[in-house]
Amino acid sequence: MPFFEAFRLAIQTLRAQKLKSGFSLLGVFVGVASLIAAWSIANGVDRYMTEKFAQTLFGVNTFQLRRRPMFTPNVPDSVWRAWARRPRIRFSDAEAINNGLTVPVVTAWQSSDQVTVTFGNKEARDIELTAASERYFDIKNLRIAIGRPFTGEENRSGVPVAVLGDAVAKRLFAERQPLGRNVRIGGVPYRVIGVVEHQGSLMGFPLDRFVVVPALSPAQNMVNPPGILDAFLVKARSDVEMREAMSQAEGIMRSRRHLRPKQDNNFVLDTSEGVQRFWAGISRILMIVMPGIIIVSLVIGGIVIMNIMLMAVAERTREIGLRKSLGARRRDVLRQFLAESTAIALVGAAFGIIAGIGLTVLIDKVSPLPASVSAKSVVLGVVLGAGVGILFGVYPASRAARLDPITALRQE
């Protein structure tokens, strides 16, 4: 009997016993659905991390000179204390690097803190105030929706102008035109000259609650002590040039701080790699835990299928006897029951794939987690489904194939 025939027969049997089949494919269904959903979340977050997260926090081909790394998960207290003892980054450090680099780069100063911004009787709390130099917008890839960014001239002379994040503009001005109006930051009036395009959110954190002002404007005293920077941002044209710029910057800083060759850096040149390494760690854990869950549900699914198939063999002993008397060989019977268990598993996998994709779309829409379906997970779902059907179908099928036709025919 050709396999196709066996498969057709199997589908017929499945359709004839919808309820029983429905239960029997539940395990595989859950296994495959969770496989696809989990993989898709990991996949989505992964792409997000590498493409958007890193870009948003750092910018492409960009490094930051900082006292300590920006992204610092799971750091012991002793390290924190060591970091806190380090000297801070000064305006003069930034100037020195800017003048010392031979690689073409774009640079910006950056210092930030949480403040309240007011306009008339309206106020926006917990807004990230960033005092930055004019190229900050380019490095962070912040596009201006209306108005303009501030200029280098405005930055150097410390003119009190402000570029608002989308959420801040909406909060303070609603439908009104914000350009040219004065908002107050720390009691000082700042003229709004631009609003940045809507940025959305990052893993659930809103990205539009910020105000950018010139680094040398009066607000500089709100974000840091005089002459101190949070970070000095350096953007190169390529990864190679960024590496080169980093090593030059490292040399400049080490000599400025009089570090001997054996002494460690007391500053960091931070890139998106740190974030990505952290994410890689999480995704590695996911990749270890997730298969466990999936394997457990697939094994349960397989055992259910095996049980159902053993029941089917018992129920259909006469049929097997008859088929054998009509000329079915052992392998024909084996194939028939294998096809049946595989069909159950594949139908379960198919529903699982549909549900997994549905779940993925839902998660992507409703939750802050970005999720996108991975084609590999769908293929794996089908393969695992069929594999479970075959693996757990072998025992019942071989029991059926070994039945003695005489006893099988005599069975009531």
Residue ranges binding other proteins (CB under 8 A): 1-2, 5, 12-13, 16, 318-319, 322-332, 405-406, 409
Nearer to other proteins, 140 or 324 (CB): 324
The CB-of-16 to other proteins minimum distance in angstroms stands at 5
Q: Which amino acid is at 310?
A: L
SS3 assignment, position 396: helix
All residues at 6 or more sequence positions from 262 whose CB lies less than 8 Å from its CB, including other chains: none
Residue 128: helix, strand or coil by DSSP? strand
Question: Nearer Cβ to other proteins, position 138 or 332?
Answer: 332
CB of 325 to other proteins, least distance (A): 5
| β partners of residue 129 | 113, 211
**Beta carbon nearer to other proteins, 139 or 320:** 320
CB of 409 to other proteins, least distance (A): 7
- Min CB(302)–other proteins separation in Å: 26
**Closest CB to other proteins among residues 310, 409:** 409
Using alpha carbons, list the distances in angstroms from residue 22 to 9, 26, 78, 301.
Answer: 17, 6, 57, 12
Amino acid at 122: K
Nearer to other proteins, 273 or 315 (CB): 315
CA angle in degrees (0–180, nearest 5) for 130-135-139: 85
What's the min distance (Å) between Cβ of 329 and other proteins? 4
For other proteins, the closer CB: 244 or 332? 332
Beta bridge partners of 269: 65
Q: Residue 102 CB: number of other CB atoms within 10 A?
A: 8
Q: In this structure, what token pair is assigned to residue 225?
A: 């002590």
Residue closer to other proteins, measured from CB, 15 or 376: 15
Closest CA to 348 of 398, 298, 290: 298
Nearer to other proteins, 321 or 385 (CB): 321
In the structure encoding, which two tokens stand for residue 12, read together? 């017929």
Q: What is the DSSP string of 167-207?
A: HHHHHHHTTS--TTPEEEETTEEEEEEEEEPP--EETTEES
CB 164 within 8 A of CB 190: no
Q: What are phi and psi of 300, to 5 degrees?
A: -60, -45
Task: Report the chain's terminal Cα–Cα distance, integer Å.
Answer: 26
The nearest distance, CB 377 to other proteins, in angstroms, is 36
Q: Which helix (H) or strand (E) holds 74?
A: none
Q: Which is nearer to other proteins, 12 or 116 (CB)?
A: 12
Pick the closest to residue 301 from 309, 289, 313, 311 (CA basis). Answer: 309
What's the closest the beta carbon of residue 5 comes to other proteins, in angstroms?
6
